[in-house]
Amino acid sequence: MNEIQSPTYLVYGTGAIGSVLGGFLHKIGRDVTLAGRGAHFRAVQQEGLGIRGIWGEHLVPKEEIRTLPDPKSEAGRFSTILLAVKSKDTLDAAREAAPLLSEDGIMVSIQNGLGNWETIARFVGEGRTVGARVIFGAEISRPGLAKVTVNADDVLLGEPFCPVNRQLLQSLEEDLRLSGIPARVVTREEIWSALWGKVLYNCSLNPLGAILEVPYGRLGENEETRMIIRGVIEEIFQVCRALDVTLPHKDAEEYYHFLLEKQLPPTSDHRASMLQDILAGRRTEIEALNGAISRLGRESGISTPCNDLLSHLIRFKEKRGRAHPSMR
């Protein structure tokens, strides 16, 4: 592969997480281009990008904001594309961004849920696909302003299928760390295990918090919701055993207590991203989370009633929100 001295970054999907990544890479002087849509992205173009929260404050003036004017003119220009769209948009985004990636570049999935890495590989190849586990939280406080709310662990980067351009992968790790975002490269086994670990967390809390419209902390306080959470976790472990997937916990009981005692307390005030999507009239990521567990369960002959029910209820809320915007 050709050596690339200075990475050129494209953040494809400038929502809350994408804004933080792009803004922090800009802070250390990296070549960063943003691509996005909606009110927040328009505000970033017109007024600049503000970031605040637990990692401090940073402003990218509008004069320094570089956006994607014409994808055709940028073909093959970017060495590193950070795909930060929701899972429901991965197929279209990967297809659109693939021509923008340099021949020896890498496309990094900055996403939740299952199936994203495989979709990206369809368009850029397994040798240019990088998986990431991002577990810091961010939200759009208002258009043009992103807030970092919580950080549970380092950003993990790994090669899910086969070796990629190692120089670019290590440069991304170093640039993130230099910018103030904890990050490290891990093995293939570790990145898959980390992905499934976050799937466990999201499937346990995200849909239930969206359906009941309460912060995550309330879910752990109630015996009835704890029973549902335990059922979701047990089903995921059953599916993983059938698929020979290694999880970062020995069994469902261990993870259940880890979730309640370690993961829930620092995120007790967090509200589900699925609820934010529903209130905004957007589709959620349910098909890449509990919906994916249900599908994999059917394919493996495993019954997943808790994940099935949560998936059905979220789909109902999605349709209700789109049909009755006044109820949002």
- List strands edge to edge, sheet with 78-83: 31-35, 8-12, 78-83, 101-109, 129-133, 155-158, 183-185
Phi-psi region of 180 (alpha: psi -120 to 50; beta: other; left: phi over 0): left
DSSP tag of 245: P
Tell me the C-alpha distance between 36 and 25, whole Å. Answer: 17
Do residues 200 and 112 lie in contact, with contact meaning Cβ atoms separated by under 8 Å?
A: no
User: Is residue 88 flagged as an active site residue?
Assistant: no
Q: Which residues on adjacent β-strands are paired with residue 81?
A: 10, 107
Nearest of 35, 58, 277, 25 to residue 147 by alpha carbon: 58
DSSP reduced 3-state for 134:
coil
Do residues 20 and 51 lie in contact, with contact meaning Cβ atoms separated by under 8 Å?
A: yes
Tell me the C-alpha distance between 251 and 215, whole Å. Answer: 26
Nearest of 142, 130, 56 to residue 94 by alpha carbon: 130
Q: Which residues on adjacent β-strands are paired with residue 8?
A: 31
Nearest of 83, 125, 74, 73 to residue 104 by alpha carbon: 125
Q: Which residues on adjacent β-strands are paired with residue 313?
A: none
Query: Which residue out of 198, 250, 262, 317 is catalytically annotated?
Result: 198
Q: Read out DSSP for 227-257?
A: HHHHHHHHHHHHHHHHHTPPPSSSSHHHHHH
- Residues with catalytic roles: 198
